Structure 1
């Protein structure tokens, strides 16, 4: 391994160390209340070292969100490989289930991702971490769009639907639904005697009635 390769390896390791530490701090205190001093302490690096790899806590936050989308995309790929969905509609349902599994397994990452979606996006930014974030989030969106297109082609989804518009409507509904489960599950169970499983079944029924011819 050459000197350049070793330096690149060290850079990646330290960036991962900083991101790991920042996750603990941000997920506990929130990005607004967290400080770079706290990130440095958690990472056991000097503040100067932190700024060598990240210019701001917002840049670290972008790296965390990019990681969250990578996890989500990996879970979706794994689900497709295991389940072998027969058509585009089944893929859409499987994506919805993958989002729910992601929230169950990585709740802090899901919450951070959902909150990030509410921010205004700077599409002109050339920041490497923000661009990596957009790349990973686009993969998630493209997976839904492609599944809808396949469904239209194989006849399992209404041919009149626009794949892109439908994908973002579904994405918003799925994220909103899971947010309700995340924040209101106990209230809904106590007041209406409905648990997450029964709500998920009804969500799938609504998707089916909306998409299937």
Structure 2
């Protein structure tokens, strides 16, 4: 019983450290954040933090893993919806989840994007960083399998390059997420365009480019 309480207390403290790290990393960036600043943010001493984590990098990877897992749960729940009638609609729902996740979980989405800009070969040499990479592959798998399913069902072109199409979709969504983070009000005021409507428009352009022509 006592051991269970200790473990519960340990998990609460670890979560508190990760919560604080997510906030300060988003505000200042990982490299610019010192352990002293993190300790001040979470209200623990550096010694306490090091009793749970070996380094700032390990804490960062824990932030990334949690962000991926949270996003993956939302995607997994959505793609199991039996009301989805086509693979095109499934792609659209995934796209909207990513855009919405960016808006409602900005710090976590930024952690994911920053992680994906790092050198993969170096990351895979670190066990916990490799876990981040593994979690990140969930989205790749879901999107590529949806594209393959669309080809098999005759929705998408037979000559579709899965890898190139995934890259194009991911790049477009990241670009849209960036605009929503930094240019949303500018776009609304000067272009008189609703950004969420732009997401829908962007999606239709992508789907039209990969849809199989009816004979």
Q: TM-score, normalised by structure 2?
A: 0.87
Is 2:109 aligned against 1:139? no
Which residue of the partner structure matches residue 32 of structure 2?
Answer: 33
Which residue of the partner structure matches residue 157 of structure 1?
Answer: 156
Q: Cα gap change, 1:56/1:194 in structure 2, threshold over 3 Å: closer, same or farther? A: same
Count, aligned residues: 212
Of residues 36-45 and 62-71 in structure 1, the stretch that sits farther from structure 2 once superposed is 36-45
Check conservation: 2:87, 2:155, Cα contact below 8 A. yes
- SS of residue matched to 2:120: coil
Q: How far does the alpha carbon of each residue in 1:99-131 deviate from its partner, in whole angstroms, 9 at most, with x for none? A: 011112112222232233223334464433212
- SS of residue matched to 2:84: coil
Q: How far does the alpha carbon of each residue in 1:141-172 deviate from its partner, in whole angstroms, 9 at most, with x for none? A: 11111111111111111121122332222112
Q: Which runs of 5+ in 2 are unaligned?
A: none
Shift of 1:82: 4.0
Whole-Å Cα distance in 1 between the matches of residues 123 and 99 of structure 2?
32
Check conservation: 1:36, 1:57, Cα contact below 8 A. yes
Q: Cα gap change, 1:132/1:15 in structure 2, threshold over 3 Å: closer, same or farther? A: farther
Q: How far does the alpha carbon of each residue in 1:17-69 deviate from its partner, in whole angstroms, 9 at most, with x for none? A: 21112112222222232211122233332212212332222221121111111
Q: CA RMSD in A?
A: 2.3
Q: How far does the alpha carbon of each residue in 1:166-211 deviate from its partner, in whole angstroms, 9 at most, with x for none? A: 2222112111121112211122222221121221121121111122
Which residue of the partner structure matches residue 66 of structure 1?
Answer: 65
Of residues 171-180 and 41-50 in structure 1, the stretch that sits farther from structure 2 once superposed is 41-50
